[in-house]
Structure 1
Amino acid sequence: MISKENAEHYVWGDRCDGWYLMNRKDMLVIHEKMPPGTSEKKHYHAVSRQFFFVLLGVLTMELDGHLHEISAQQGIEIPPLARHQARNNGDVPVEFIVISHPTTRGDRTDLP
């Protein structure tokens, strides 16, 4: 059994949290939390396909130059090679699940 309470925790970006729910080469599942006003670097994955599913708050996802506001209980697919950036433009933390197939480890190119 795995949960946020017993999963391996890490800190990324500026004050963002992540918990590995599944960490395998063929699949990566992470629970992430972004405080208000935070964002990840714009990037893409050559092979990995991702699915972001929002649990709490609203996640702003820039996907190939288009902004998407994803509310709780909504999700968005990120295909390989799609330039994307997750942001929390709101006033409350946003929590979401990211499923990556295969893992994104070694498959990320940051953009300027």
Structure 2
Amino acid sequence: MIHSKENSEYYIWGNLCESWILKNTNKISIKQEKMPAGTSEKLHFHKVAEQFFYILKGEAVFFINEERFWVKQNESISIAPESKHLISNESAEEIEFLVISSPPADHDRIEVKE
């Protein structure tokens, strides 16, 4: 089956951020997500899941273990398990990206109290 935003499960998270689940098995999760300008997720980590983010549109800012990384369109970044991280859109434009988690991170997310 061919997957796209038009035929995939959809949900809203955070402050009007959007997610389309393109693939979800017990081994891997692939989501296409969109974040409006000025939005951010909460600092968290995953005990088991490794994550890979690929920026399709715009520029994202990642905070990983207290370091800051700017990832532009057509660039990617990997996040190892146990790494405290978040993605933020500090630009004036929306960003769009793929997030691939192995295994899926849905039940492996621990928020960090700030």
Normalised to the residue count of structure 1, the TM-score between the two structures is 0.98
How many angstroms apart in 1 are the aligned matches of 2:106 and 2:93?
29
Aligned counterpart, 1:63: 64
**Is it true that 1:43 corresponds to 2:53 in the alignment?**
no
Q: Which runs of 4+ in 1 moved over 2 A?
A: none
| Alignment gaps of 5+ in structure 2 | none
Q: CA deviation at 1:89?
A: 0.2
How many angstroms apart in 2 are the aligned matches of 1:69 and 1:38?
15
| Secondary structure at 1:5 match in 2 | helix
Aligned residue pairs, count: 112
Q: CA deviation at 1:105?
A: 2.0
Q: Which amino acid aligns with 1:69?
A: W
Aligned counterpart, 1:8: 9
- % identity of equivalent residues: 38
Paired residues for 1:1-112 under 5 Å: 1-112=2-113
Q: Deviations over 1:1-57 (max 9, x none)?
A: 001111111000011000000011110000000000101110000000000000000
| Alignment gaps of 5+ in structure 1 | none
What RMSD, in angstroms, separates the aligned Cα atoms of the two structures? 0.5
Q: Which amino acid aligns with 1:95?
A: E
Normalised to the residue count of structure 2, the TM-score between the two structures is 0.96
